[in-house]
Structure 1
Amino acid sequence: MLKDFDIDDDDLLRRWISISQKVKSFHIRGLSADQNPSRDPDDYKGYKWTGPRINAKGIVNGLYSRAKKGDLVLVTSPGVAWGRTSVGELLDPPDEYIYERIGRYPRENIPARRVRWLGTVDNTVLEKGFVSQLVSQSGFSQVRRSDFDVFFRAAYPNFIRTDLANSLFNIQAEEFSTVADMYLKLIANFAAEIARADERGTLKDLPKLKFDDWMFSLSDDEFVANQKIKIESPGKNLLQSIKMTPILAAVIFAVCQYPAADIKASEIEFKNSANGGPLDECDIPIKDASGAAFNKMSLDLLEKMCKAAQTSEKLGRITTPIRTVTK
């Protein structure tokens, strides 16, 4: 059992892996009770490292040492090429685990990490080489950075990391008109304006912004989000940028479902919706930029943003994963 030894003790780890191989064989072959293998590591001193044991060592070290709390894990289905891969988030540090019992190994306590399953990915959209990696005998390997995005999107509709921000708008209307689309794009372009002003230190000038002039002088630069998924109805609209624009757009859309006067008169607080606790480090720029923008917007400008958000929500029945509550 993991609790009985330090997995960094290479000699003892080899013996426990040897025990697990014997126990697995005992159950799979349906041997009689008198053939139940010893669970005493001292009885396995002469066992050497073999290929399967080295693979098992990699899995144990990966799952109970390398993989940290909050890391994503991928588990593919038996169908492999035509199946789906589940994406989950590890809930606890590697030294905190539970023991489970599964039907294949009755009366055995199997160490396990707790996972919150978040979504799935269709294996047909993955590279063949990557699918082969998912079912390789090594069992535990790190995903290449170039493959991050597809799994991040499956796990988190809204996310921001070093070089990418991503937000998702769910469109539930049976018909999605150009009017609803226009108002949603207005929110996204205004979010780009805020992100640009925040980075350049010009948010203080936001009260001077003339809406009509701004509408016909939009800049197409790195702050403007790209749409990465074709809009369908019903379907999804994905915004993506190297700046924080997509997340700001989702925040503005969610907050502006309330009357503008109520927003101006209230204190806006941000919490991590996953646990109700402190924000992640990457969330702080979003909080600061959007909070400053709402404080500095004129009531007239905020009313226009609220009209855009509420009209697009009504016509497109649009939702985001961001949750808002009032006190």
Structure 2
Amino acid sequence: MSQQVVVDIRTRFLRDDQRCYILFPGNGYRYYSYMRDNEVVFLDLPGFPWEKGEDLRTIPDLVERIVVSERIQDWHRKDRPSNDLPIRDPSKLTDFRRTAARQQFAGLVRGFFTTISAGDIIIVPAPGYEDDMLFGEIVGDGDPVWSKLPGYPDEKVPGRQVKWIARVPRGQVPPWLERKIPSPNPLRQVEQSYFSDIFDIMYERYYFDGNFACKFNVKSADFSSLDNFLFQQIVLYAAALHENRQEDNIKDIAKRAISVVVSELDFSQDIPDQRISINSPGHIVVYSKNIIPIIAGVFMALAVLTSTTSKISADDVVIENSVDRSQISQECISDVKQEVVDDLKAMGYQRWQELCTIEAQARKRTQISSGMDARSTGVAPKQDRVH
């Protein structure tokens, strides 16, 4: 009985209404280290009155609660004088002004806890250009998580749990992001036109707004036209298999060399495009409105495994996705598995060996990798990635 071959496509599926935010980590970056180390983000609201189960969308005294927190902050800054304790019950406030700034901040607080959803992206700026900018996803909805900060002894600060996905030195982030960091607002939303830059930083593979993007990492400092040609043969062969299947010509694919099949490709809008950034190490991002970039990545991962495994049976290939358990992910897994199995059967042993040879040449020259894991059951994963 043959062993199953498992390929982990490690692909993030992002919502159509995905949102991204920049959250400033307090005055003078005072909370940067705490947010980084504790995977939590928050606004500066020590002692903010909030009972379990209360919905900030409906409470009528949000501005008053913000005033309570402001006065608790001032009290701590004055070294907590015992003869001037701050009011902690918002209903007992009498001498305050409902200013435009406070009402604006109240809207920001409400949005931070009720509009930002699990899976939305938070970017936390770093204090120095050699320090890491933090890119993460909000984890969970509902009640806040509470933090106790060194500057506010015995106070609790409400916040949101976050999982840091990527860390990039501030000096290496895109210029548009650096320009957005100096801001009077502690929280600001990022326009969708910048999403691809953010997603490229955070994810090796992702799906958003009808498009798949797959990052292929390159470790070599030199990436020539020949190197790109070898890599493109793999991607375009996956595209040609996809196109031939749509036209019901897949049965004859095994009779033709890969270069011939690729040369006959009809370059329609479904053919993947690419962005190249070779900075030792660098990467190529292949993107398309169909699953071709993912299929090409699976081929490369299987080819790496083939170098240490004598035979791979198409029927024994299993696709999984360890980074996303959503319904759309499960549907994609099914589509990817079907296409990979059909492609392997259609190309046959000779063409598969030809494809493995091309992949081995590309990997030897540039150490290019798909970032996916492939393994035979009972064997440790063979990681197709740059270390």
> The TM-score by the shorter chain falls in which range?
0.7 to 0.9
Conservation of the 8 A alpha-carbon contact between 1:177 and 1:316 = no
Conservation of the 8 A alpha-carbon contact between 1:206 and 1:293 = no
Conservation of the 8 A alpha-carbon contact between 2:205 and 2:213 = yes
Give the direction of change, closer, same or farther, for the CA distance of 1:235–1:206 in structure 2 (3 Å limit). Answer: farther
The aligned residue for residue 75 of structure 1 is 124
The aligned residue for residue 276 of structure 2 is 229
2:236 pairs, out of 189, 198, 209, with 189
**Secondary structure at the counterpart of residue 239 of structure 1:** strand
Q: How far has the Cα of 1:174 moved from its partner? A: 5.0
Q: How far has the Cα of 1:278 moved from its partner? A: 6.9
The aligned residue for residue 91 of structure 1 is 139
**TM value normalised by structure 2:** 0.71
**Secondary structure at the counterpart of residue 2 of structure 1:** coil
- For 2:64 and 2:247, the matched residues in 1 are separated by 61
Q: How far has the Cα of 1:90 moved from its partner? A: 1.1
The aligned residue for residue 197 of structure 2 is 150
The aligned residue for residue 315 of structure 1 is 365
Q: How far has the Cα of 1:151 moved from its partner? A: 0.6
Conservation of the 8 A alpha-carbon contact between 2:276 and 2:283 = yes
- For 1:67 and 1:106, the matched residues in 2 are separated by 28
One-letter code aligned to 1:17: I
Residue 290 (str. 1) matches residue 340 (str. 2): yes
**Secondary structure at the counterpart of residue 137 of structure 2:** strand
The aligned residue for residue 35 of structure 2 is none
**Secondary structure at the counterpart of residue 207 of structure 2:** strand
Residue 273 (str. 1) matches residue 322 (str. 2): yes
Instruction: Mark the runs of 5 or more structure 2 residues left unpaired by the alignment.
Output: 1-48, 378-387
Report matched runs for 1:169-188 at 5 Å: 169-173=216-220, 175-176=222-223, 180-188=227-235
Residue 305 (str. 1) matches residue 355 (str. 2): yes
- For 2:234 and 2:127, the matched residues in 1 are separated by 43
Which string of whole-angstrom CA distances, capped at 9 and with x for unpartnered residues, describes residues 115-147 of structure 1? 12222375763338x834x54344334322211
Residue 106 (str. 1) matches residue 175 (str. 2): no
One-letter code aligned to 1:27: H
Same amino acid, percent of matched pairs = 20
Q: How far has the Cα of 1:179 moved from its partner? A: 5.1
Give the direction of change, closer, same or farther, for the CA distance of 1:192–1:265 in structure 2 (3 Å limit). Answer: closer
Between 1 and 2, higher relative CO (CA 8 Å, sep ≥ 6) is seen in 2
- For 1:265 and 1:218, the matched residues in 2 are separated by 24
Q: How far has the Cα of 1:243 moved from its partner? A: 3.6
**Secondary structure at the counterpart of residue 365 of structure 2:** helix
2:110 pairs, out of 44, 51, 61, with 61
- For 2:69 and 2:372, the matched residues in 1 are separated by 45
Give the direction of change, closer, same or farther, for the CA distance of 1:280–1:62 in structure 2 (3 Å limit). Answer: farther
Q: How far has the Cα of 1:183 moved from its partner? A: 2.4
Residue 210 (str. 1) matches residue 246 (str. 2): no
**TM value normalised by structure 1:** 0.83
Give the direction of change, closer, same or farther, for the CA distance of 1:149–1:56 in structure 2 (3 Å limit). Answer: same
Q: How far has the Cα of 1:182 moved from its partner? A: 3.0
1:131 pairs, out of 173, 176, 179, with 179
The aligned residue for residue 244 of structure 1 is 291
Which string of whole-angstrom CA distances, capped at 9 and with x for unpartnered residues, describes residues 165-212 of structure 1? 2221221235546554432221111122244346x3637546456125
Q: Quick check: which one's strand share is greater? A: 2
One-letter code aligned to 2:286: L
Conservation of the 8 A alpha-carbon contact between 1:203 and 1:296 = no
Give the direction of change, closer, same or farther, for the CA distance of 1:233–1:17 in structure 2 (3 Å limit). Answer: closer
